[in-house]
Amino acid sequence: MGKHMKYYKNKWNLIPEKIRFLITGMFGVFIGGFIYVIIYKSNPLETHKATTSWILAFLLAILRQHALHYFFTFTEISVPYLNSLYGAIKTYSFNLVWSTVLIHFLNEQVKLDYRISWFITVAISVPLSYILLKKLSFGVNKI
C-alpha cells in the first residue's frame, strides 16, 4: 500500500464506526437505488412489480453491501471475509423477509410510489442492519 493510501486509510479510520457505517451504507444505497429503478423499469411483470424488483435488487445488494462494510466500515475486525459474508447473509436474509412484506404492503395496500416505499423501507433497515451486522457478521457484541 502506498504512502498516500495509508494516510487516507488512517484518516478514514479516525471517523467513528457508526459514521463510517452511515457513509458507506449511503454510498451503497445510492448505487442500490439506481439498480432498483433499472430492475423495476425492466421488470416485465404487471402485478407485484415493485415487490419482485425489490427482492432481486436486495439479493444483488447483499454482496455489494457486505464488501463495502467489510473493507470500509468494520475495519478493526479481523474476521475472515467468508465468515463475515456468512453472517451478512443471515442478517440480510432476515431483512429481506420483513422488508419484502413492508414494501409489498406500502405498494399494494397503501399505493405509495415504488420509490417512496423503497426509501421508507431502506430507512427502517439501516439501524437494524448495523446491529445485526455487528453481531452476526463481524462478531462484535458491543454496540
Q: Is 1 inside a domain boundary?
A: no
Is residue 69 one of the residues assigned to a domain? yes
What is the domain count for the chain?
A: 1
The answer as to whether 127 is a domain residue is yes
Residue 2 lies in a domain: no
Look at residue 4 and tell me if it is in a domain: no
Does 132 fall in a domain? yes
| 62 within a domain of the structure (yes/no) | yes
How do the pLDDT tens digits run along the chain, 143 residues long?
Answer: 677 778 888 889 899 999 999 999 889 989 999 999 999 999 999 889 988 998 999 899 999 999 999 999 988 777 889 989 998 999 989 998 999 999 999 999 999 998 999 899 988 988 888 888 888 888 765 54
- Structural domain contains residue 123: yes
Give backbone dihedrals phi and psi of 66, rounded to 5 degrees, phi first.
-60, -45
What is the extent of the structural domain holding 87? 17-137
Report DSSP letters for 15-65, one per residue.
Answer: S-HHHHHHHHHHHHHHHHHHHHHHHHHH---SSSHHHHHHHHHHHHHHHHH
3-class DSSP state for residue 90? helix
